[in-house]
Structure 1
Amino acid sequence: MLTPERVEGWDVPALSALAETDVAALLALDPAPEFVLIGTGATMARPPRAFVAAMEARGIGVEAMDSRAAARAWAVLRGEERWIAAALMPLDA
């Protein structure tokens, strides 16, 4: 997981089981991130609707893409000093 303040490992769930509690460290940011990049591994996939709805209820957007694209987007957006977070799944999962 990546935040503007730190990098930390996480217990990566199956994408289909991704829940708000899995990204609690990202939700603890103050202020909350504008949005969270979800790196879905080697290919793009959609996170569960319940996860997206829970994040949006907190006012946090969700952008899903493959993990390589998410890492590139992270670098560009942080270069623009955007307050974002990322949860990247491994490429071999």
Structure 2
Amino acid sequence: MKLHADQPDGQSITAYGPGWVAVNGQRKEHSLVLSATGTLQDWNCARFEDLTAAHFEQLGNLAGEAPELVVFGSGARLRFVRPALLQSLMAQRIGVETMDTAAACRTFNILAGEGRRVVVALLVEV
């Protein structure tokens, strides 16, 4: 019997390291947003300290569909944003999980592979 790895329908995070993330083998050296349906966008924020409510508002309707969960990768270490910045997501009853960027990459791949409506927002700091 031959075993084959599952091939995801959308895009997946194939690698990551300090200051970069690879989506389907393409290296990105800036913050990004990726949905389980395959929508990939730049996330215009280079530092944790620069995050605003507007950064999180755009996550509530990525690719025309509200996710059930947003996974926020806060950079090389775990940092939590002020709850006020997440107000728009909470008002839409969208869950938010915060973890370091490496853990967020792994978690996104698992949840997307299960067919969950998940969006990952990755803060990639240099």
Computed over aligned residues only, the root mean square deviation of the Cα atoms, in angstroms, reads 1.8
Q: What is the 5 A alignment of 1:1-93?
A: 1-5=33-37, 6-12=39-45, 14-29=47-62, 30-92=64-126
Which protein, 1 or 2, shows the higher relative CO under an 8 Å CA cutoff with sep ≥ 6?
A: 1
Give the structure-1-normalised TM-score. Answer: 0.84
Give the structure-2-normalised TM-score. Answer: 0.64
* Max Rg structure: 2
Unaligned stretches of 5+ in structure 2? 1-32
Shift of 1:53: 2.9
Structure number having the greater strand percentage: 2
Could you tell me the percent identity over the aligned residues? 32
Runs of 4+ in structure 1 over 4 Å off: none
Structure number having the greater helix percentage: 1
Q: Which moved more, 1:22-31 or 1:82-91?
A: 22-31
Unaligned stretches of 5+ in structure 1? none
Shift of 1:17: 4.3
